[in-house]
Homo-oligomer: A and B are copies of this chain.
C-alpha cells in the first residue's frame, strides 16, 4: 500500500498523505477495522459488485469516531487539559465524548434542545457534558463560543478541521487497501468532512484510477449546487429524513471537493427509504437514512452512467456506510 506522498490531486490539498497515515496509526488501536460486507441480492439489483464499508459497526455507531479520535488524541498536553468543545446534534457529539473519555479530558457538547433523547443519552453515557441551545445555527455557535471563552476548551469542529478530515480519510484508506480494484467509491455528503476524507483516502491509496462520488439528498443539495456553480452555496432547506446530512459545506471542504470529487449524485426521499429498507432486509445490518443515500443512486437505471461507467459494465463500487444510529422500535 502507498505510504509515501502520492497522487497528483492530493498534493493540492493542505492535508498531506503523511497526515492521513499518521491519523490511521493514531486511531487504529482504538477503533474497529470495520468489515466490508457484500450482498448477492443487492449486487443483482444494482447490476454491479458492491462492497459496503460498514462504519455503522464502528465504535459509537458511525465513522465520526475516526476524525474525533484523531483530533483529540493529537492535542498537546496543554490543549488537552482544557478539554474540548463541539456542537452537534448527532454522531459527532457521541464521537467527541467517547474520544475525550479515552483521553480522560472534559467534553463540552452543545446540542439543540430538540435533539433526539437517544443521541443525548449516548453523549451522557460517554461522560460528555451537554449544554442545550436553541435549534438554530446562531444559537449553536454562540453557545459553543461562550463555553470556549469560559473554559478555554479546544473547539473540535465536526468537519471544518484538517485533523477531522484526515481521520475520516482512514475509512476509505482501509477500503482501498483491502480492495484496490474498486472502480468507484460513494459516500454521503453533508458538511463534507467524510467526503473530503474519502477523496483523499481513496485517491491517496490508489490515485485517480478510483473515482469518488458524493451522494446527497435532493432536499439538502448545497454540495451539488456549490460544485455545479463553482461557488459555495447556502442550504435553503434541509428537511430531509437523512438527519445526518443537514449541514452544508465549509470553505475548507469545498476547496478539497472542487479539486478531488468526481461528482455529486442527488437522491429523493423515496429513494432513501427504499435503499434503507433493502439494506436492513437483505444485509441484516441497521443503517441510518444518511447511509442509504450512498447506495440509492446505484439502484436506478442511470446508476452506471452516473458513476462514469458503461450501462453494460459491472462496476466494482465501494459504499461508505456512514452510521447506524436510529431510534429503534423493537
Binding site for B on A (CB under 8 A): 32, 35, 37-38, 40-41, 56-57, 59, 61, 125, 273, 276-277, 280-281, 283-287, 324-325, 328-330
Contacts and interface: CB of A to CB of B under 8 A. Distances in A.
Contacts of A59: 40
Nearest to A324: B284
Contact of A284 (B273, B286, B330): B286
B40 A330 contact: no
Contact of A328 (B38, B40, B277): B277
A283 B35 CA distance: 13
Nearest to A292: B330
Contact of A56 (B32, B284, B325): B284
A280 to B, nearest CB: 5
A273 to B, nearest CB: 7
A56 B324 CA distance: 17
29 contacts: A32-B38, A35-B35, A35-B37, A37-B57, A40-B59, A41-B125, A56-B284, A57-B283, A57-B284, A57-B285, A61-B284, A273-B330, A276-B330, A277-B328, A277-B330, A280-B286, A280-B328, A280-B330, A281-B328, A281-B330, A284-B285, A284-B286, A284-B287, A284-B324, A284-B325, A285-B285, A285-B286, A286-B286, A329-B329
Contacts of A32: 38
Contacts of A61: 284
Contacts of A276: 330
A57 B281 CA distance: 11
A81 to B, nearest CB: 26
A216 B300 CA distance: 44
Of all A-B residue pairs in the complex, the 6 with the closest CB atoms, nearest first, are A284-B324, A35-B35, A284-B286, A277-B330, A56-B284, A280-B328
Contacts of A324: 284
Contacts of A35: 35, 37
A83 to B, nearest CB: 22
A2 B276 CA distance: 42
A242 B330 CA distance: 14
A40 B125 CA distance: 12
Nearest to A118: B281
A320 to B, nearest CB: 15
A88 to B, nearest CB: 19
A32 B35 CA distance: 12
Which of A56, A280, A287, A330 has most B Cβ within 10 Å? A330
